[in-house]
Amino acid sequence: MSLDTIANMLSALKNASMASAGSIELPYFRQGKEILEVFKQRGLVNELKVFKPEGKDYKYMHVDLAIGADGARRILETRRISKPGNRVCRPYAKLAKVKAGLGVVVVSTSRGVMAGEEARKKKLGGEVLCSCFFK
């Protein structure tokens, strides 16, 4: 397990989607919850719950993954863009679209974590955290 919690979360989401798992549990961290909220707005996640198991000092996130109408997985590819050793920041005009608009890019702005499309509308740039390609 690496020290990059966002990369771990994205990898777990992709692996669970490829295995057609209905839900997964991930360690809680604030930025991860905000990224999952963006995925929930896009229909990639059905439900997100934060809970603390009895006798433990830390929290978990229970994530119910969305399944397509044909029963196929929705998340096809996840990618960590800004890494701990190489931060990637972009102005709003240079926020790229994922595969011609068939995915979502997640940006951390001064007004919180949001989808790249929303950041462009609000004319906010920031750190490009990750991208997700889905169907």
Across 30-59, average pLDDT: 95
Assign 14 a pLDDT band (cuts: 50, 70, 90): very high
Q: Are 128 and 98 in contact (CB under 8 A)?
A: no
**What are the boundaries of each domain within the chain?**
5-134
Mean predicted lDDT score pLDDT of the chain: 92
Q: Are 116 and 107 in contact (CB under 8 A)?
A: yes
Assign 1 a pLDDT band (cuts: 50, 70, 90): low
| Fold category of 5-134 in CATH | Dna Ligase; domain 1 (3.30.1490)
With a threshold of 0.85, does the pTM exceed it? yes
- 109 vs 74 pLDDT, higher one: 109
Across 25-31, average pLDDT: 96
Shortest CA distance to 80 belongs to which of 129, 28, 42, 122? 129
**Cβ count within 10 A of residue 54:** 4
pLDDT score, position 68: 79
Across 41-53, average pLDDT: 94
